[in-house]
Amino acid sequence: MDDDLRHGAVPGEAPVRPVHLPQRHDEGGQVIQVARHGLPRGERNRDRGWRHRGPCRPRAPPRATRHDQVLNGLGVVLAADPGEIVFVRGATEAINLVAASFLAPRIEPGDEIVLSVMEHHSNIVPWHFLRERCGAVLRWVDVGDDGSLDVEAVDAAIGPKTKLVAIAHMSNVLGTINPIAEIVERAHAAGALVLVDGAQAAPHMAIDVVDLDCDFYVFSGHKMYGPTGIGVLYGKAALLEEMPPYQGGGDMIRSVTFEKTLYKDAPHKFEAGTPDIAGAIGLKAAITYITGIGIPAIRTHEEMLLSYATERLQKVPGIEIVGTSEDKLGALSFVLKDIHPHDIGTILDQDGIAVRTGHHCAQPVMDRFHIPATVRASFAMYNTTSDVDALVNGISKVKEIFN
Ligand SMILES: Cc1ncc(COP(=O)(O)O)c(C=O)c1O
């Protein structure tokens, strides 16, 4: 890996620990530093402009707050208008917001929501709520044995009753990158809207919501090396405007009387209560960090690692890689004959090799591949080919122990 990429754009970043294959955020701690210490006086609250709450004393004239800056940064990352960005706790809350505020009021019993079998539980359970509460029908699109999603299969699942297609941009188990632009085209042609779960894609690839033409796009800050507890819902302005607020409280109102509340316009009406200011500042630092290195450079590096790891793992007898789509990135899931993933993870961990094991909050895709769990190595910008070598050596050790 070239040094510029490895050490990032932030001076003073600590050297990368030798082996760590799950997604790890904030290698050098600089994002945490900013989130912890980056709250200058007067920036304790915001209203997408300058605002000071509490005991008042004269303040500086209006200027761009860090919240504005993070919005601008997000605008660049998503190619979206900052007015179409809602701050939420993460991808999960964003999807729940869309389910409750956008889709629930529009669902008649029998209306359909199209999902792929590779979805994370965050992009399944909110739709199950609508099945239970509003009579929605979930239509599942299968993947091929290589874990790829065929646009024709999605098209075939979309019918006159389809209200929404909810689909991952990238699978957190299979690594598959889905053909979102084509799916959006098919869905729109049938009068259905599309929500994209970008939680996995956001740190690995460039996202252009205008180009994709998706109606909603969601992701979590912590997947982009930022802090937990902050994430983003992008929604087309016209849709956000139509949607009722999701939660009520301070900051999202124009006025409150004994009789009624008048809400602010979108996106403010969806941001009830004191915002996660430290989280937003941390997210801004993460975005600066990533964009400083450059998403294309990160992607190229991760593609190299994935193909190196795939080639090496394929040669290990007894290993089966789960998810071999040509269009894939980030995650490399595998199973090893007769050895449970949890045992593999425990032994690798003893050698300082961190992988994630389990169903990865995606039980339906485990069922699809008739497995209870996988071992998953995730590649990020700080990993190196020697991390992959250590993983392969660790697997040999696991096999020695069990055979
Ligand atoms: C594909 C995908 N979607 C959604 C989520 C949920 O993200 P969060 O728990 O940050 O809301 C995750 C988290 O792992 C994920 O991988």
pLDDT digits (tens, 9 = 90+) for 54-81: 333 444 444 445 466 677 777 667 878 8
Report yes or no on 220 lying in a domain. Answer: yes
Phi, then psi, of 124 in degrees rounded to 5: -130, -55
pLDDT at residue 130, as a whole number: 98
Which residues are tagged catalytic?
361
Number of independent structural domains in the chain: 2
Tell me, in angstroms, the distance from the centre of ligand 1 to residue 97's CA. Answer: 15
Q: Is 168 in the pocket of ligand 1 (CB under 6 A)?
A: yes
Same domain as 258, residue 117: yes
Same domain as 331, residue 249: no
Q: Is 283 exposed, middle or buried (0-12, 13-18, 19+ CB in 10 A)?
A: buried
pLDDT at residue 51, as a whole number: 31
Residue of 380, 393, 395, 388 lying closest to 22 (CA atoms): 380
Report yes or no on 68 lying in a domain. Answer: yes
Same domain as 311, residue 279: no
Final residue of a structural domain among 291, 316, 342: 291
Report yes or no on 229 lying in a domain. Answer: yes
Residue of 208, 161, 213 lying closest to 183 (CA atoms): 213
Report yes or no on 26 lying in a domain. Answer: no
Report yes or no on 235 lying in a domain. Answer: yes
Same domain as 255, residue 116: yes
pLDDT at residue 79, as a whole number: 79
d(CA 47, CA 64) in angstroms, rounded, equals 11
Tell me, in angstroms, the distance from the centre of ligand 1 to residue 261's CA. Answer: 33
Helix (H) or strand (E) holding 46: none
Same domain as 81, residue 49: yes
Angle, vertex CA 375, rays to CA 338 and CA 139, nearest 5: 105
Same domain as 164, residue 135: yes
Domain that holds residue 323: 3-21+295-402
Final residue of a structural domain among 291, 319, 352: 291
pLDDT at residue 390, as a whole number: 97
What parts of the chain have a pLDDT lower than 50?
A: 1-18, 20, 23-27, 39-64, 66
At 104, is the secondary structure helix, strand, or coil?
helix
Q: What is the CATH number of the domain that holds 322?
A: 3.90.1150.10
Nearest ligand 1 atom to the CA of 91 is 11
Q: How many helical (H) and strand (E) elements, i.e. helices and strands, does the chain have?
A: 14, 13
Mutate to test the pocket of ligand 1, among 96, 115, 170, 172 (most ligand atoms within 8 A of CB): 172
Q: Is 122 in the pocket of ligand 1 (CB under 6 A)?
A: yes
Tell me the per-residue pLDDT of 169-187, one tens digit each, with 9 for 90 and over.
999 999 999 999 999 999 9
Same domain as 343, residue 270: no
Same domain as 249, residue 166: yes
Same domain as 209, residue 140: yes
Mutate to test the pocket of ligand 1, among 124, 220, 222 (most ligand atoms within 8 A of CB): 220
Q: Is 90 in the pocket of ligand 1 (CB under 6 A)?
A: yes
Final residue of a structural domain among 244, 272, 291: 291
Secondary structure, 3-state, 376-396:
EEECCCCCCHHHHHHHHHHHH
How far, in Å, are 84, 90, 140, 241 from residue 116 at the CA level?
26, 21, 5, 28
Report yes or no on 80 lying in a domain. Answer: yes
Same domain as 67, residue 168: yes
Same domain as 339, residue 252: no
Same domain as 262, residue 113: yes
Query: Omega of the bond prior to 267 within 30 degrees of 0, cis?
Result: yes
Q: What is the CATH number of the domain that holds 79?
A: 3.40.640.10
Tell me, in angstroms, the distance from the centre of ligand 1 to residue 197's CA. Answer: 8
Let me know: does 375 contact 336? Beta carbons within 8 Å.
yes
- Per-residue burial over 231-266, b if 16 or more Cβ lie within 10 Å, else e, is bbbbbbeebbeebebbeeeebbbeeeeeeeeebbeb
d(CA 150, CA 179) in angstroms, rounded, equals 8
d(CA 366, CA 359) in angstroms, rounded, equals 7
Tell me, in angstroms, the distance from the centre of ligand 1 to residue 258's CA. Answer: 40
Residues in the chain: 403
Rg of the Cα trace of the chain?
22
